[in-house]
Amino acid sequence: MPSQPLGPADYSQTPRFAGPPTFGLLPRIDEVEAQRPGEKIDVKILGVPFDAGVSYRPGARFGPAHIRQSSKLLRPYNQATNVHAFTWQQVADCGDLGVNPFDIEEAITEVERTADEMRADGAKLLTLGGDHTLALPNLRSLHKTHGKIAVLHFDAHLDTWDTYFGAPYTHGTPFRRASEEGLLDLESCMHVGIRGPLYGEKDLEDDAVLGFQIIRSDDYQFTSVQEVVARMRKRLGDAPVYLSVDIDVLDPAAAPGTGTPEAGGMTSRELLNSIRGLQGLNVVGAEIVEVAPAYDHAEITGLAAAHVGYEMLSLWAAERNGLTGPSGPSGEALGA
């Protein structure tokens, strides 16, 4: 019989603020391997402190550490979905991956290679960024296993531009490159939370050709979270889904600590409930990117990102426990 998953540090013995610098005070991968030898790790959390692809404010290289610091108040039971995020599956924090901060293409190659290695045993990978350039190597890795991927992309921006100052690999280009490389399911991809000025109408025309439909930030005000979730689930269907969350999808009031903020964004409650609505879908990988702590205040952005990561882990815990649709109070509110 498999042993019980190794969970977070014992809060009754060590106060959270003094606990280990891991996501949610969860065990490191070496601790899991030592205490549960030969048993599978279901989810691996990897930080990638890389921001050489940013176009405006730098600092997302410090995002992984900030998200972990802000995650210490997370607890094992998700009351919104009735899911035990840390005990229905074995989660391990794998620390940070050091990549070349001066050579973007070399860094992309290293992230892809590492993702391949970490997923080789069937584990799911949650990436803490870092800037959005990281989406491309993660999609390259997932494509090798799952074929064409449906990207569900929460962001203020399209990130399907061609080049910036002639550079093909930046945080604004990963999904164009992924589409051009044949990695995406063109009938299933979707942006959520898009807003703000563009260079022109052609940005939207090009984006549609690359395979994306758009749910704008304003749609949450003019319709409802329930309707948005229904649209997402219809678009994604049973495709393998890569969940990519750029923290700037949130309004700057909810996430000031990011590199390219845009007014008029989502609330953290809207974002968390949107992710909860994905329960039961085939989410094969996930990332949280663009947390830049130098612009944060009182850990507002870090806390939001930590809770996004918690909901991602809850999706996988629900899957392991056989839940096929949204559950708990959130599921009832969404009409599941």
174: helix, coil or strand?
Answer: helix
Q: Which residue has the tokens 């404010």?
A: 57
d(CA 193, CA 214): 8
Backbone angles phi, psi at 203, to 5 degrees: -55, -45
Q: Is 66 annotated as a binding residue?
A: no
Q: Is 93 annotated as a binding residue?
A: no
- C-beta neighbour count of 263 within 10 angstroms: 11
Q: Taken in order 268, 306, 110, 184, is the CA torsion positive or negative?
A: negative
d(CA 12, CA 161): 50
Q: Is 307 annotated as a binding residue?
A: no
Which residues contact residue 17 at a Cβ distance below 8 angstroms, ignoring those fewer than 6 apart? 72
Pair of tokens at residue 212: 């994306």
Q: Is 153 annotated as a binding residue?
A: no
Pair of tokens at residue 152: 């569900």
Backbone angles phi, psi at 78, to 5 degrees: -90, 100
Q: Is 159 annotated as a binding residue?
A: yes
DSSP for 79-122, please give it. Answer: TTTTEETTTSS-EEEEEE----SS-HHHHHHHHHHHHHHHHTTS
Assess contact for 160 and 197: CB atoms under 8 A: no
Q: Is 246 annotated as a binding residue?
A: yes
80: helix, coil or strand?
Answer: coil
- Termini Cα distance of the chain: 34
Known binding site for Mn(2+): residues?
A: 132, 155, 157, 159, 246, 248
- Binding-site residues sit at 132, 155, 157, 159, 246, 248
